[in-house]
């Protein structure tokens, strides 16, 4: 039997039935009155759950003060640089230190523009509403990213201290510059396809070069010209002044971080039927640096993912990870806890259900990257996690959050682990043929 939308019209009798059923429940009066002056999350908040997410952990790394991505979606860059800055600070005996997020973001946007323009050229004979091309044009060029995209930028362009390329109003608030970049991309697509139909192939390449130049001009004006040479001045914890002169971002990386970025591997927990565990996979048209490493994930069970994360934490090494933070979050107090918000009792609706089905049916996907800097273990089992966020020090515990174990298992999808912790089977899986999923696969979402 097939259903027809024409048979499902909302009749007046059905509306009357809905109204009568609503009015028979007196609790609806209380809920309605409360919501007239309060947010849904406020009236669903369960204060008793706070006792289970106190900011105390059996394994807790001493990491530095949090950063602030402000009105931008650069969390994945902030989280990646937060991992790297700890290594630099340890080598140089520094109490506080930041790497320039703006420097990486500049080249990320430039590479993304080139990647998107080139993708349009590769799909030049596709209709504008064909699913892959439509996805590329709809999603466009944004702030978000994945770990391998970060790694490619660092390997190609290096890193530099924040003082060498500071934030601007535009790097901290990217909405308008993103709109301009995407207008440029979509204009190129429309003109390139018209030229293709006229068999003007050389003009397409020339148009791409013009658009790339316009994009570079926009980025340099918005984010500032990317630093090429700088002096690195710092005072260590012993009060001793140092100055390294005439460094480049690549020489800075080679001196303090050489080989670091290659050590890490992205692992995921996607329990959908199409992604077996111990399989390496990638997503089509997901990337920034065309010649760089493709985004590659190794799919593992949540139990194995947690085991690997804990092993790395026990070695005093923080962990980059990606999660869906759309639900069950207390941003001001710094908690993600599924038990802290009772939507089920209030509305008879729950925001979470089977993890695989949430992925398949577009309820949930990774959308934010942060750093795990601690875990609480009871009988060797995790009960809560300490999270270094990038939303500034005015929220949470000076910017640090607590994530409950139930939230972690439900909404965490990705982590980045040093390859030395992977076992023989996992390393061998990475050597096998990598399966390619379409660009609209839920595991291709970007952390913002």
Supply the Cα-derived Rg of the chain in whole angstroms: 24
Question: What CA–CA distances, in Å, run from 205 to 107, 122, 195?
Answer: 21, 12, 10
Neighbours of 21 (CB within 10 A): 10
**What is the DSSP secondary-structure string of 208-246?**
HHHHHHHHHHHHHHHH-PPP--EEEEEE-TTS-EEEEEE
Which H/E stretch holds residue 247?
A: strand 241-247
Neighbours of 193 (CB within 10 A): 18
Q: Which residue, among 297, 305, 302, has the nearest Cα to 434 in the 3D structure?
A: 297
CB 249 within 8 A of CB 103: yes
Alpha carbon 384 to its chain centroid, in Å, reads: 21
Give the separation between CA 401 and CA 398, rounded to whole angstroms.
Answer: 9
Q: 145: which 2 tokens?
A: 């990213």
Alpha carbon 136 to its chain centroid, in Å, reads: 18
Give the separation between CA 354 and CA 360, rounded to whole angstroms.
Answer: 10
269, 288, 368, 376: which is the annotated catalytic residue? 368
Task: Name the pairing type of β-strands 297-299 and 264-268.
Answer: parallel
75, 160, 211, 222: which is the annotated catalytic residue? 75
To the query of whether residue 29 is one of the catalytic residues in this protein, the response is: no
To the query of whether residue 75 is one of the catalytic residues in this protein, the response is: yes
Helix (H, G, I), strand (E, B) or coil at 359: helix
Q: 133: which 2 tokens?
A: 């091309």
Q: 439: which 2 tokens?
A: 């660009």
Q: Evaluate the CA torsion angle 228, 72, 413, 134 in order and state its sign.
A: negative
Please list, in sequence order, all residues whose beta carbon lies within 8 angstroms of the beta carbon of residue 96, skipping any fewer than 6 positions away. 64, 65, 89
Would you mind telling me the total number of residues written for the chain in this entry? Answer: 448
**3 CB-contact burial (10 Å; exposed 0-12 / middle 13-18 / buried 19+):** exposed
Neighbours of 445 (CB within 10 A): 22
To the query of whether residue 152 is one of the catalytic residues in this protein, the response is: no
Residues recognised as catalytic? 75, 368, 389
């Amino acid at each position: 039997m097939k259903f027809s939308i024409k048979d499902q019209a909302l009749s007046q009798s059905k509306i009357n039935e809905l109204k009568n059923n609503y009015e028979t429940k007196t609790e609806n009066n209380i809920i309605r009155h409360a919501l007239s002056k309060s947010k849904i999350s406020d009236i669903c908040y369960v204060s008793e759950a706070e006792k289970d997410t106190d900011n105390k952990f059996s394994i807790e790394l001493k990491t530095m003060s949090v950063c602030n991505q402000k009105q931008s979606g650069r969390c994945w860059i902030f989280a990646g640089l937060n991992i790297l800055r700890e290594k630099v600070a340890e080598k140089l005996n520094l109490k506080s230190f930041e790497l320039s997020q703006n420097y990486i973001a500049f080249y990320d946007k430039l590479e993304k523009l080139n990647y998107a323009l080139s993708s349009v050229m590769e799909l030049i004979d596709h209709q504008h509403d064909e699913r892959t091309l439509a996805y590329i044009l709809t999603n466009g060029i944004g702030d978000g990213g994945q770990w391998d995209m970060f790694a490619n930028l660092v390997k190609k362009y290096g890193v530099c201290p924040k003082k060498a390329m500071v934030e601007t109003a535009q790097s901290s608030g990217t909405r308008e510059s993103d709109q301009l970049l995407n207008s440029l991309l979509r204009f190129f697509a429309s003109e390139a396809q018209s030229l293709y139909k006229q068999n003007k192939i050389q003009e397409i390449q020339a148009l791409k070069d013009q658009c790339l130049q316009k994009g570079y001009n926009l980025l340099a004006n918005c984010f500032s010209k990317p630093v090429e040479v700088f002096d690195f001045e710092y005072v260590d914890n012993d009060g001793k002044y140092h100055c390294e002169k005439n460094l480049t971002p690549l020489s800075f990386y080679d001196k303090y971080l050489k080989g670091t970025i290659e050590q890490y591997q992205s692992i995921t927990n996607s329990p959908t039927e199409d992604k077996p565990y111990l399989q390496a996979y990638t997503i089509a048209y997901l990337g920034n640096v065309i010649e760089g490493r493709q985004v590659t994930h190794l799919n593992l069970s949540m139990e194995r993912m947690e085991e690997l994360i804990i092993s790395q934490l026990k070695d005093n090494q923080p962990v980059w990870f990606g999660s869906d933070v759309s639900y069950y979050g207390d941003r001001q107090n710094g908690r993600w806890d599924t038990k802290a918000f009772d939507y089920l009792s209030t509305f008879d609706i729950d925001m979470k259900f089977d993890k695989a089905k949430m992925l398949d049916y577009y309820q949930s996907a990774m959308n934010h990257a942060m750093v795990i800097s601690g875990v609480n273990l009871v009988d060797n089992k995790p009960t809560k996690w300490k999270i270094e966020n990038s939303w500034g020090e005015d929220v949470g515990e000076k910017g640090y959050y607590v994530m409950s174990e139930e939230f972690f298992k439900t909404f965490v999808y990705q982590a980045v682990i040093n390859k030395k912790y992977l076992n023989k089977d996992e390393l061998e899986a990475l050597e096998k043929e990598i399966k390619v999923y379409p660009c609209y696969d839920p595991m291709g979402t970007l952390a913002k």
